[in-house]
Chains A and B, each alone.
Chain A
Amino acid sequence: MTTHTFKPSLPPPNMSVGAMGWIRANLFPNWFNSLLTLFALYIVWITIPPILNWAFFSADWIGDNRESCTSGGACWVFIKVRMAQFFYGFYPEELRWRVDLTVLLAIFGAAPLFIKAMPRKLRYGAVFLLAYPVLAYWLLHGGFMGMTLVETSKWGGLMLTLVIAVVGIAGAMPLGILLALGRRSDMPVVRVICVTFIEFWRGVPLITVLFMSSVMLPLFLPEEVNIDKLLRALIAVTLFEAAYVAEVVRGGMQAIPKGQYEAAGAMGLGYWRIMGLVILPQALKLVIPGIVNTFIALFKDTSLVIIIGLFDLFNSIHQATVDPAWLGFATEGYVFAALMFWIFCFGMSRYSMHLERKLDTGHKR
């Protein structure tokens, strides 16, 4: 009997590892890919330097009127001067702290929900979800309990964008869940009503919906009823978004095995308890990424309120670009708008991917 002696591991031949190996494997593995690499390099070369040059190196940052923009690059002065309007719209200057406070409250109020070890998270979450909207309405709109009233027509900019997006998704969630339940109900009439509702909203463009809400809704209501323009847009966005949320939630519910319904039923729980205590908690957790994606879509869609003359972030910027004092800086305006939207959407999509990964592994264990 012999004992086999294993040979020592050798380092790989130098062409396959290290910087050279990496370059060979990732950039020039064969002639076709080498061509592609050169092509890509060319694209990078013709796009990046001019963009960087325009946006940074020969851009103007200092000053407060168009005369400060002389260098031929981007005129960020324009953005700087108008920044407050892009953020707050026409919200009265001396009251803007109220907007800031609302945002801060949202951030610090919601933060504990993301802390793992937080005790009584559920109860806290419920209280927060109930209390915050009232608080936010009081702060932003006012008109009672000692807060001076700020008309919604003065709201604008990023603040309005956030209001529409957040209210839209918050309103769409419960409605969407109900619709999803309805679509999976075994009552044919309820199912037909829900399917019709969902398919209708998913089939028409948001701008026609907004248009309808902004100018036609009063035609459908008795003459004395008068609903705030922003509120009507919010209702439209909520209904529209609810249809999308419903489909996402339905997907999650379909992934819950039948045994869960049966086990809960066998324990004597009724329909609403089965749904509320057993099915929805699991289904909603599964679809968080889907909901975040819906939210991203909604966030981008808020830009359409330009159609009905609300001054959201995009419309504020658009409006500023036709100001005679700053004519000719539309590109800067659009780039800034794009950047703002991008930061929010990209951030959220990363978050959704992170959740997806987290939930994915949680599923496998």
Chain B
Amino acid sequence: MQSDAPKAAAPRGSLLTDPKARAWTFQILSILVVVGVGWYLFHNTQQNLANRGITSGFAFLDNSAGFGILQSLIDYTERDSYGRVFVIGLLNTLLVSVLGIFFATVLGFLLGVARLSPNWLINKLATVYIEIFRNIPPLLQIFFWYFAVLRAMPSPRQSYSFGEAVFVNIRGVYLPAPEAAGGLVPFLISLVIVIAAWIGLARWSRRRQEDTGQRFPVLWVSLALLVIVPGMAAMLFGKPFHWSFPELTGFNFVGGWAVIPELVAITFALSIYTAAFIAENVRSGILAVSHGQTEAARSLGLRSGLILRLVVIPQAMRVIIPPLTSQYLNLVKNSSLAAAIGYPDLVSLFAGTVLNQTGQAIETIAITMSVYLAISLSISMLMNWYNKRIALVER
């Protein structure tokens, strides 16, 4: 008998007792409630704004800001608009997040592995670290590190100097910054060439391994190329940059790159805090790979480095990724605590100073929240996608 699609539905009950009808009634009611509450709040807000003569709308984004900003990744002067201030805040938040995620991941993996070390002392040290740092509020840690960093550093005049090029003092870490010079173009071209060569080499060596089983020391050769070729370009076509060295003029160092202590403290605190959680995730991820897997790999003659790379980590990653994702999200959200120590992140600059200069609380907070929401959603989407891609195939 060929199956045909269902025709008439079975008889229905009355509106109150039929589950479908009831479900729809309920759903329509809940839509009404949500819309009603939304409208009520909107109405009140409208009324309140009108009553109190508060400006609304997003026109303020074009107004000029008029205040200085401690750190901005793009050019900024006081004449620039609030819109640009928003971008600067967002970039600063992203900077802290990216740095924090990077260091927290590295530190977290190291600690997670240390936590599993057969070496008793290392194991215990890692445990102590994890238990201390994950049980103290991050805000407290941020304050602590900020003032600890400030207290430990000398004034600009007594800076620690490394080869008269790098200076460390309470105002930050000052590094020489490259500035373009005549040989820059050939230099950049040579760099591109080396990188292209690197990729080609890697491809070729993979093919060679597949064909002959021999491995080629790609990394070392490429590193050598990386030094030699641009070096020759520099010699032939002249210096690509001259270095702008930081110099003490007046109160502070001028020139070079400066890494401000606020950034250091917040990155430090967030990395240390989040690493404690990541370490636990890593540990349970590695423990989730059964001992039999390592034994099987060992009995095949694989060395421990290869076992880790080819067998343990790929499997552990599947367990680690989902909790790691939420740690990343937490770190991004916690980066908003930067406001407490004056690091000009999104919350501090935009939901703080701009809000206060313009008085447009609803708009600025709405924008700020949407930005965090968007970051959170995109990180989770990315991670979900990755997670799906690497999921184990089962029956």
- A-side interface residues toward B, CB under 8 Å? 25-27, 29, 33, 36-37, 40-41, 43-44, 186-190, 193, 199-200, 202-208, 211-212, 215-216, 218-223, 296, 300-304, 306-307, 314, 318, 330-331, 334, 337-338, 341-342, 345-346, 349
Q: Are A203 and B373 in contact (CB under 8 A)?
A: yes
Decide yes or no whether B392 CB sits under 8 A from chain A: no
Decide yes or no whether B333 CB sits under 8 A from chain A: yes
Q: Are A341 and B135 in contact (CB under 8 A)?
A: yes
Cβ-closest 5 pairs across A and B: A345-B135, A203-B376, A189-B27, A26-B120, A300-B137
Q: Are A208 and B121 in contact (CB under 8 A)?
A: no
Contacts of A216 in B (CB 8 A): 361-362, 365
Contacts of A207 in B (CB 8 A): 336-337, 339, 347
Q: Are A40 and B347 in contact (CB under 8 A)?
A: no
Decide yes or no whether B41 CB sits under 8 A from chain A: yes
The tally of residues in B whose CB lies under 8 Å from a CB in A reads 53
CA distance A211 to B372 in the complex (A): 15
Q: Are A187 and B131 in contact (CB under 8 A)?
A: no
**Closest chain B residue, CB of each to CB of A344:** B135
Q: Are A33 and B377 in contact (CB under 8 A)?
A: no
CA distance A43 to B28 in the complex (A): 64
Using A215-B361, A223-B51 as known contacts, list a sample of 13 further A-B pairs with CB atoms less than 8 Å apart, ordered by residue number in A. Answer: A26-B118, A37-B121, A190-B26, A203-B329, A203-B372, A208-B372, A219-B362, A307-B340, A334-B140, A334-B143, A345-B135, A345-B136, A346-B135
Decide yes or no whether B299 CB sits under 8 A from chain A: no
CB distance from B358 to the nearest CB of A (A): 14
Contacts of B337 in A (CB 8 A): 207, 304
Contacts of A44 in B (CB 8 A): 121, 125
Contacts of A218 in B (CB 8 A): 48
CB distance from B248 to the nearest CB of A (A): 28
Contacts of A36 in B (CB 8 A): 117, 119, 121-122
Q: Are B365 and A27 in contact (CB under 8 A)?
A: no
Q: Are A43 and B131 in contact (CB under 8 A)?
A: no
- Tell whether A211 pairs with B144 under 8 Å between CB atoms, given A205-B333, A205-B372, A304-B139: no
Decide yes or no whether B30 CB sits under 8 A from chain A: yes
CB distance from B51 to the nearest CB of A (A): 7
6 pairs, CB–CB < 8 Å, chain A vs chain B: A36-B121, A40-B125, A208-B369, A296-B135, A304-B337, A345-B134
CA distance A275 to B339 in the complex (A): 44
